[in-house]
């Protein structure tokens, strides 16, 4: 994962993110429902994006102090404009580089953990930020995300170019959670989305930031390749659709 590319992807299209991120909003709503409703006084949110999950946390825990961070300055700027500042603190930072000396009741994150280069180290670090009995809860995309597009790219170009190939499996997540928490669980859920054309799919990937540092080579997007890709897609899958593999993870300290 190239963090500079990922940061630039999200920053460049931050103003369009909400238009194309219906799935991330749906996952955020489901993740919010999984959080224990008992009173929390302090929450750390990793990868706040444009603040949609932050808004849910603020609504559910009205009196909690919430510290929310994101690697993209453009995303954080949108958060500050969209959300009232009372009890909210926004920080521009890479969660993997963040050093904190305070502790929290809850560490939460929606659709961000798949971008961490050192997932094991990151989980260990934020386990250390939790008070005894505190929880970490997060959603993350799995390696079967965009498996249809991955098949098309492998067939046409004989190489994998989908970022999800590097995402952690459920087994890996469960292993790392067990290492750092006395109780843990990872639940898998699959979502699907259909598009009228391959170009519409690629537009969604670009503007929602979920391409990571994949699909970066210009030769992927020549007119002839796009036509061949769409033909392969339609022949194999009878339409332009994608699978999203999502894990909902929890750890209790």
Walk along the chain (253 residues) in steps of 10 and give the mean pLDDT of each run: 73 84 96 90 96 96 95 95 89 92 96 95 95 96 95 84 90 97 97 95 85 55 84 96 97 96
Strand 88-92 relative to strand 65-70, pairing: parallel
At residue 196, φ and ψ (nearest 5 deg) are -80, -20
Question: Which residue pairs, CB below 8 angstroms and at least 24 apart, start in 227-236?
Answer: 228/156, 229/152, 229/153, 229/156, 229/198, 230/197, 230/198, 232/152, 232/155, 232/156, 233/148, 233/149, 233/152, 233/198, 236/148, 236/151, 236/152, 236/155
Instruction: Write down all domains in the chain, each with its CATH number in brackets.
Output: 3-144+166-192+246-252 (3.40.50.150)
Distances (CA, A) of 17 to 74, 113, 202: 11, 18, 14
pTM of this prediction? 0.93
Quote the pLDDT of residue 134: 95
Strands 104-110 and 183-195: unpaired
Task: Determine how β-strand 240-252 pairs with β-strand 183-195.
Answer: antiparallel
What is the reported pLDDT for 46? Answer: 98
- The pair of structure tokens assigned to 169 is 């499996």
- In Å, how far are 61, 89, 150 from 201, measured between CA atoms? 36, 35, 13
Q: Please give the pLDDT value at position 64.
A: 94
Give the total residue count for the chain: 253
Q: In this predicted structure, what is the pLDDT of residue 221?
A: 66
């Amino acid at each position: 994962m190239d963090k500079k590319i990922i940061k630039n992807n999200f920053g460049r299209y931050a103003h369009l993110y909400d238009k194309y991120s219906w799935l991330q909003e749906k996952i955020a709503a489901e993740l919010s429902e999984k959080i224990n409703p008992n009173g929390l006084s302090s929450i750390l949110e990793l990868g706040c994006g444009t603040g949609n999950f932050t808004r849910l946390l603020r609504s559910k825990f009205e009196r909690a102090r919430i510290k929310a961070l994101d690697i993209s300055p453009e995303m954080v700027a949108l958060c500050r404009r969209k959300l009232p500042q009372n009890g909210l603190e926004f920080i521009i930072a890479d969660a993997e580089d963040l050093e904190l000396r305070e502790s929290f009741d809850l560490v939460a994150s929606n659709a961000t953990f798949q971008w961490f280069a050192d997932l094991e180290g990151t989980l260990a670090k934020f386990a250390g930020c939790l008070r005894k009995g505190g929880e970490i809860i997060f959603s993350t995309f799995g390696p079967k995300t965009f498996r249809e597009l991955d098949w098309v790219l492998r067939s046409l170009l004989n190489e994998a170019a989908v970022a999800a190939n590097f995402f952690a499996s459920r087994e890996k997540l469960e292993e790392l959670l067990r290492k750092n928490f006395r109780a843990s669980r990872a639940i898998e859920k699959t979502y699907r989305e259909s598009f009228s054309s391959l170009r519409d799919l690629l537009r969604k990937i670009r503007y929602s930031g979920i391409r990571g540092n994949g699909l970066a080579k210009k030769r992927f997007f020549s007119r002839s390749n796009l036509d061949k890709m769409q033909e392969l897609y339609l022949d194999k899958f009878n339409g332009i659709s994608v699978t999203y593999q999502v894990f909902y993870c929890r750890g209790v300290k």
